[in-house]
Structure 1
Amino acid sequence: MDVERDGKVAPLVDDDGLLKRTGNVLTATTHIITVVVGAGVLALPWAMAQLGWIGGISVMVSFSCISIYTYNLIADCYRYPHPVSGTRNYTYMQAVKSYLGGRMHVICGIVQYSKLAGVAVGYTITTSISLVAIKKAGCFHSKGRQAYCKFSNNPFMAGFGVLQIFLSQIPNFKELTWLSTIACITSFGYALIGSGLSLGVLIQGQGQPTSLTGVELSGLEKMWKVFNSMGNIALACSYATVVYDILDSLKSSPPECKQMKKANVLGITAMTALFLSCSGLGYAAFGNETPGNILTGFGFYEPFWLVDIGNLCIVIHMVGAYQIMAQAFFLIVEMGAKMMWPKSDFVNKEYPRKIGKVTINFNMFRLVWRTIFVIIATTMAMAMPFFNEFLSLLGAIGFWPLIVFFPIKMHIVQRDIKKLSPKWCMLQLLNSVCFLVSLAAAVSSIQGISQNLSKYKVFTYKQ
């Protein structure tokens, strides 16, 4: 299908026959920032407190540099076998299958989609914590800081789940740019509010003592805290679960890999600057007493209205970020269903409905399956509302395999890098170090979750 534009005939479809993509470096950068600048940024001051100035800054900068390098490798693998003229890989699994063959793509899929499902649980927890924090801020303001102001997270999780059931009917990732833009703006809003309030504490001369090596704890406890912190930072750097969805939204000229590499640099640079300022200011303000989340953990009580605005920004961001992550999970399930039941009306038929001047397509399988997914994610969040430990576990699950292992393996195959050559050895060293970091973070987060589970009854948690 073609259309006449400025006297020339321009195709409405891309080289693969699908509707022409319109994304660019700016939209890709927006998607990246929406995903990486999540509420986890407000847990980074706590991570900095555990690692200290030397460890905290070193880990954040190191993870960011590794991320830029490996995400650029991923960008080159969007097409196979050539980064510019090859065939498109629409998903991470498809890229792994193209380059590595065998069963590697199955392992990739299990890791990727387990993490995507986990992120939905994590975002539900985060939203409820922020909504409860808004209610608590009002309670403390009117009744005093010593008042009993504890509330159940469950009603807020249920409300968030209902909203996500409706938003999940948005057909695909390419129609989320408006939601991603709003989420991106609000993510900077709460990060800047947290940083600004921390700066205000320092300006007033009320900052707490800090150290180069962080909180002083017993050997084993310090080790668990350090590993948990590294998991939090790893999660903050991750958008591998949706990186191919972002690549597949980009127009084909200039080549997608070149656009994505620019977006990687812009997005991760902005992310790193924000992470360092927020974590550094937060740690300088609270020292060893830095809470797990500087807005919801009540590092600040006043001005309560500004704390409320910050938490409201978190909620708005979580609404958009949930969909950015979930759409990639929805896509793979629905692609599989269409392959298994190509003639089923329940799976394939679209029902257009007009709401005012807007036409919305409903699909029965999409309605049923996505609703069930949101209900399950919401129920799991109610059962296990541990913020820092859950963030660390998600970071550990995805960091090594998706950001390091698969990109390096695909790059070696694509560039035909010889075994035991200097570059091969350096890549394997990077791979091994990142594996050990992920493993340590996963073990420490599981240990933290098991400790919390022993302290309270399921579905009765109050914050």
Structure 2
Amino acid sequence: MEKSEIYEARSVHSDKESIVDLMAERPEQGSNFLAYANVVCVVAGTGTLGLPYALALGGWIGVGILILSLIMSVYTAILLMKCVYYNGKYRLSSYQEVGRHAYGTPGLAAVWFFHTSIVLGAPIMYLILAGTEMKTLIPSADIDVKAWIWISAAIVALPFVTMKTLTEVAVMSVFGALATVVLVVVAVRGSIINMGDVIPGMVHNIIIPANLPTTVASISICFGGNVVYFHVEEAMRYPRSWNRVVAAALGTCAILYLATAIPGYMAYGSAARSPILLNLPKDIFTKIGTIVIIIHVILAAPILLTSFALEFERLTDITVARRGKTMERVWRTVARLLIVAFCGAIACVVPYFDAFLSLLGAMGNCSLIFVMPIVFYFKLIGWRQMKWYELVWCAIIVIIGVVSAVIGSIDAIKVLKFRFETDAARM
């Protein structure tokens, strides 16, 4: 054997050993169950409430789109995490780092833009929902929606500012995941009660071709966990269990989604609204569901905001080593309060949950979940070792992601424009 061949063989062997070392047990980190609950809490979220409306947009084909989105999301989540360990020497710290290693500054900028749109956009959406539902829950109180949004922001700020990392915030995700289950039960119960009621103009469509991109965009946000996967995996005691954990978590979310979407669309058809709570009977169970979703979004928002804050603090060098223990806490507190204030301000300016949900799913999630993991994987690891059917599968995912991102964003922007113009005309 030539010396170069011996060196190459040793290099490959060394890289494999390095990857094993990088993915070795981390005794100080959280369990697989906490990682599973973290993903379920963030991913299941408010997307559950918008699924009957997504089916109203696209028809029963939305059920197939949901299952297809699950399969695509699990696949790209696994590819994305392979990119984290691609060189065998060190673990990449974030989605932005993956983009930079793949395509330099343009890759970093693209990921930063879409990543920021999600980790800030989703909490903004949560604040909109929490403020709206608080107003619905206590209509007699002389407090408008904007004030409730700021109250929600203040509540979210408490754990966000006091808990530094996702390892600390992870405990909250267990309660958030349980809240999602309760919410699904309330939505299913209300849908079954109303099933068979005659709603003027209500129809059940098999497929509405013109709305398919928007439907895909609305459903894609239901699997939008890529923005926190890096920090969730980093906080795992057994990182080699990632594939099983993410598949189990997203599979659990899909079961909750189907349980909400199918009865909801059967009961309300084209009259389904987002969130589905607006359609449900106005009884004590719906009030319980409203309270639960408020609790859920208040628990889920700090997880996403912490993911953004960790990257921001890394970029601005807000560390104990650089600032000292006391000043690090001061700078971190100020930075995180400003982040919450920014989210609260935007939520007050754009208080349209359903349109914001569609725009967020189209613009950010379609790119981050479906397109970029495959594009980055091809660049960092390569496509030549893939089978032909894997390449075809990757091409299908990328095409679906690009078309849904472009057309879905355009449609969502048109809806937002219409809402603003309608509200302006009323004033």
Contact 2:58 2:215 in 1 (8 A): yes
Contiguous gaps of at least 5 residues in structure 1: 1-13, 140-148, 216-221, 352-361
C-alpha offsets along residues 155-183 of structure 1, whole Å, 9 cap, x if unaligned?
Answer: 21111111122222111111012211111
Counterpart CA distance in 1 for 2:23 and 2:69 is: 35
Counterpart CA distance in 1 for 2:142 and 2:44 is: 28
User: What amino acid maps onto 2:191 in structure 1?
Assistant: S
Greater helix fraction, Structure 1 or Structure 2: 2
Is 1:185 aligned to residue 178 of structure 2? Answer: yes
- Distance of aligned partners of 1:107 and 1:131 in 2 relative to their CA distance in 1, 3 Å threshold: same
1:427 corresponds to: 394
Candidates 410, 415, 422, aligned match of 1:448: 415
Q: CA deviation at 1:96?
A: 2.7
C-alpha offsets along residues 251-309 of structure 1, whole Å, 9 cap, x if unaligned?
Answer: 2x4xx2x41111121111111111112111011111222222221x24321xx221111
Candidates 224, 227, 232, aligned match of 1:238: 224
1:32-431 paired onto structure 2 within 5 Å: 32-53=39-60, 55-82=61-88, 86-136=89-139, 152-169=144-161, 170-202=163-195, 205-206=196-197, 210-213=203-206, 223=210, 225-251=211-237, 253=238, 256=239, 258-295=240-277, 297-301=278-282, 304-338=283-317, 345=323, 348-350=324-326, 363-418=329-384, 422=388, 423-424=390-391, 426-431=393-398
Give the percent of matched residue pairs that are identical in Structure 1 and Structure 2.
Answer: 18
- Distance of aligned partners of 1:29 and 1:51 in 2 relative to their CA distance in 1, 3 Å threshold: same
Is the deviation greater in 436-445 or in 18-27?
Answer: 18-27
Is the deviation greater in 29-38 or in 283-292?
Answer: 283-292
Counterpart CA distance in 2 for 1:105 and 1:21 is: 30
Secondary structure of the corresponding residue to residue 456 of structure 1: helix
Counterpart CA distance in 1 for 2:272 and 2:400 is: 29
Counterpart CA distance in 2 for 1:189 and 1:60 is: 21
Q: What stretches of structure 1 move > 6 A for 4+ residues in a row?
A: 14-19
Greater strand fraction, Structure 1 or Structure 2: 1
2:18 corresponds to: none
Counterpart CA distance in 2 for 1:89 and 1:263 is: 20
User: What amino acid maps onto 2:411 in structure 1?
Assistant: S
Is the deviation greater in 392-401 or in 328-337?
Answer: 392-401
Q: CA deviation at 1:370?
A: 0.9
Secondary structure of the corresponding residue to residue 423 of structure 2: coil
Give the alignment's TM-score, normalised by structure 1.
0.80
- Distance of aligned partners of 1:62 and 1:128 in 2 relative to their CA distance in 1, 3 Å threshold: same
Contact 1:164 1:319 in 2 (8 A): yes
User: What amino acid maps onto 1:411 in structure 2?
Assistant: Y
Counterpart CA distance in 2 for 1:76 and 1:23 is: 21
- Distance of aligned partners of 1:179 and 1:227 in 2 relative to their CA distance in 1, 3 Å threshold: same
Counterpart CA distance in 1 for 2:98 and 2:166 is: 18
User: What amino acid maps onto 1:181 in structure 2?
Assistant: V
Counterpart CA distance in 2 for 1:92 and 1:81 is: 15
User: What amino acid maps onto 1:278 in structure 2?
Assistant: T
Contiguous gaps of at least 5 residues in structure 2: 1-20
Contact 2:70 2:254 in 1 (8 A): yes
Secondary structure of the corresponding residue to residue 350 of structure 1: helix
- Distance of aligned partners of 1:344 and 1:28 in 2 relative to their CA distance in 1, 3 Å threshold: closer
Secondary structure of the corresponding residue to residue 175 of structure 2: helix
Counterpart CA distance in 1 for 2:77 and 2:198 is: 37
- Distance of aligned partners of 1:420 and 1:180 in 2 relative to their CA distance in 1, 3 Å threshold: closer
User: What amino acid maps onto 1:23 in structure 2?
Assistant: G
Give the alignment's TM-score, normalised by structure 2.
0.86
Secondary structure of the corresponding residue to residue 77 of structure 1: helix
Q: CA deviation at 1:416?
A: 2.6
RMSD of Structure 2 on Structure 1 (CA): 2.9
Contact 1:214 1:288 in 2 (8 A): no
Q: CA deviation at 1:115?
A: 2.1
C-alpha offsets along residues 415-439 of structure 1, whole Å, 9 cap, x if unaligned?
Answer: 4323998344542343123201111
2:7 corresponds to: none
User: What amino acid maps onto 1:288 in structure 2?
Assistant: S
Contact 1:172 1:327 in 2 (8 A): yes
Contact 2:362 2:405 in 1 (8 A): yes
Q: CA deviation at 1:391?
A: 0.5
